[in-house]
Amino acid sequence: MARIEQPLSQAYTPLSIGPLTLRSRFIKSATNEGMSPDGVPSRQLVQFHAAMAAGGVGLTTVAYCAVSADGCTLPNQICLDRATLPHLRALTDAVHRENGAVSAQITHGGCFTFIQPPGQGRPLSASGGFNKIGLMSGQYLKREMSVADMQRVAADFANGARLAREAGFDAVEIHMGHGYLLSQFLSPLYNKRRDDYGGSLANRLRFPRQVLRQVLDAVGDELAVICKFSITEGVRGGNSIEDGVQIARGLAAEGAHLLVLSAGLNAESITTMFGSSFPPENRAVVTNPVMKAAMFVQSLVEKPVPFRELYLLEHARRIRAAVDIPLAYLGGVTSAQGVAQLMEEGFDTVAMGRVLIHDPGWVNRLRDGQLERSGCTACNRCVTMMYTEGGTSCVLNGPGNVVLNRTPAAG
């Protein structure tokens, strides 16, 4: 093994987040893999996350685990319930055999959903009225959550965290970004309430903080409790980085063990999230007509954005200066130099998605001096591939880079 030098070597040292100690500072960020037919984790999904652990990440994240049936955004999304536990246990056991840790991202889609909620009711959101997301799915109206609704959903998050613990997860990541339910409370674009949960940023943060508190109370002594949020929404009228700083302070004060610093919104500013445009040819590989329409609309409203490494660093520095809890930088890490710079600037972990989809063994290869830079081109085709039969994969790796075993994990 080649010798690695400071500060890159810092990324290969242990880190404690809450009750969990990671073996390295690398996190596989949550990316919807599209590998859970009928909502059941497949053997393919198990292999995907086991490969991340074998490749050297300290923590791999299973994306989009809905905490209730009415919280699902997509068909075939994992829902945390007793029926899924044996299959999730097969996944966590596989990751642990590779000496890695694994996190369940727990979420509720709110009005960002492409399926009809149970009971044929309107999807829930911070505010009611017209649902612009529903233009893509025929759900044109959304319902403002009552306090009773919020109490139920907060309890669902806590129960989902307990089920994650029972399934063998080492951490839960509460999704507060990208336009899902908790983000809909945080964002002035969605939250038009006039009560204690709307108006000022402190009020808009109130319900997400309540969810965090209930999850901490439920599992915080045994699991790391992580929050992922958009430090800037990247769109006129949305949260700015100044708002992101205040959100980070509020979540830190509530007791979060780690913050994952993402950005953007799925519908309004997806290039802010990914740091580069989605090429028009992406639409050709998607069979879902709703997603085809969404991509077409985004191509009309968003200007082309070229990729640059560490594209969120300027914003993330503002968060690092404002809070003293562990932070995961997310946003275009592609090289040894980039990792070293983040370590030097005081970020505790490095979260990556596309680079690890391209090469699950990248972390170990970087350590061993086999490479200095990822071959990922940030073309974003892997994001599109989640909506295809084979699920998420890197188009640069050629046929056969994903094992198409769609059977249940514990089957």
Span 240-261, average pLDDT: 98
Taking the CB of residue 296, how many other CB atoms lie within 10 A of it? Answer: 11
- CB contact set of 237 (below 8 Å; sequence gap of 6+): 188, 189
For residue 12 the two structure tokens come to: 């290969």
pTM, to two decimals: 0.93
Higher pLDDT, 404 or 281: 281
User: pLDDT tens digits, residue range 308-317?
Assistant: 999 999 999 9
pLDDT of residue 300: 66
Tell me the per-residue pLDDT of 328-365, one tens digit each, with 9 for 90 and over.
999 999 999 999 999 999 999 999 999 999 999 999 99
**Looking at 40-44, 79-83, 247-251, 300-304, which range is the least confident one?**
300-304
**pLDDT confidence of residue 405:** 42
pLDDT in tens, 128-186: 999 998 887 889 999 999 999 999 999 999 999 999 999 999 999 999 999 999 999 99
Pick from 379, 352, 380: nearest CA to 366: 352
**Bigger pLDDT: 306 vs 19:** 19
Q: Is the pLDDT reported for residue 2 higher than 60?
A: no
Q: For the segment 351-409, what is each residue's pLDDT rounded down to a tens digit?
A: 999 999 999 999 999 999 999 999 998 888 887 777 676 778 887 875 434 433 445 66
Confidence of residue 32 (pLDDT cuts 50, 70, 90): confident
Residue 388 and residue 131: Cα distance in Å, rounded? Answer: 26
Handedness of CA 22, 28, 29, 33 (dihedral sign): negative
Look at 306 and 349; give whichever has higher pLDDT. 349
Higher pLDDT, 258 or 280: 258
CA Rg, the chain, in Å?
A: 20
Range 282-290, long-range pairs (CB < 8 A, 24+ positions)? 282/380, 282/381, 282/383, 282/384, 283/384, 285/381, 285/384, 285/385, 285/388, 286/384, 286/387, 286/388, 287/387, 287/388, 287/389, 288/387, 290/114, 290/136, 290/137
Higher-pLDDT residue of 385 and 56 is 56
Residue 134 identity: G
Q: 12, 64, 140, 180: which is the annotated catalytic residue?
A: 180
Whether 180 is a known active-site residue: answer yes
Mean confidence (pLDDT) of the chain: 90
Strands 171-175 and 327-330: unpaired
Percentage of the chain with pLDDT > 70? 88
CA dist., res. 278 & res. 268, Å (int): 14
CA pair distance 28, 46, nearest whole angstrom: 14
3-state secondary structure of 88: helix
Residues 358 and 375: their CA atoms lie apart, in Å, by 7
Q: Compute how many other C-beta atoms are within 10 angstroms of the C-beta atom of residue 69.
A: 14
Domain boundaries 8-397, corresponding CATH code:
3.20.20.70
6: pLDDT confidence band, cut at 50, 70 and 90?
confident
Quote the tokens at residue 91.
């996944």
In whole angstroms, give the CA distance from residue 366 to residue 375. 12
**Whole-number pLDDT of residue 224:** 98
Q: Is the peptide bond before 7 cis (omega within 30 degrees of 0)?
A: yes
For residue 278, pLDDT beyond 50: yes
Cα 203 to Cα 3, 185, 192, 206, distances in angstroms: 50, 9, 11, 5
How confident is the model at residue 404, as a pLDDT? 37
- Checking if the pLDDT of 411 tops 70, the result is no
Where are the chain's structural domains? 8-397
Q: What is the mean pLDDT of residues 2-25?
A: 89
What is the rounded CA–CA span in Å between residue 256 and residue 327?
A: 10
Distance CA 77, CA 186 (A): 24
Per residue in 196-237, pLDDT tens? 999 999 999 999 999 999 999 999 999 999 999 999 999 999
Give the C-alpha distances (Å, rounded to integers) separating 11 from 27, 365, 369.
Answer: 11, 13, 14
Write the single-letter amino acid at 267: A
What is the Cα–Cα distance from 148 to 155, expressed in whole angstroms?
Answer: 11
pLDDT(45) > 90: yes
For the chain, the straight-line distance linking the first and the last C-alpha, in angstroms and rounded, comes to 39
Structure tokens at 202: 């402190």
pLDDT higher than 90, residue 259: yes
Q: State the amino acid at position 254 in one-letter form.
A: E
User: What per-residue confidence (pLDDT) applies to 304?
Assistant: 79
As given in the structure block, the two tokens for residue 69 are 């049936």
Nearest to 78 by CA among 185, 204, 169, 176: 169
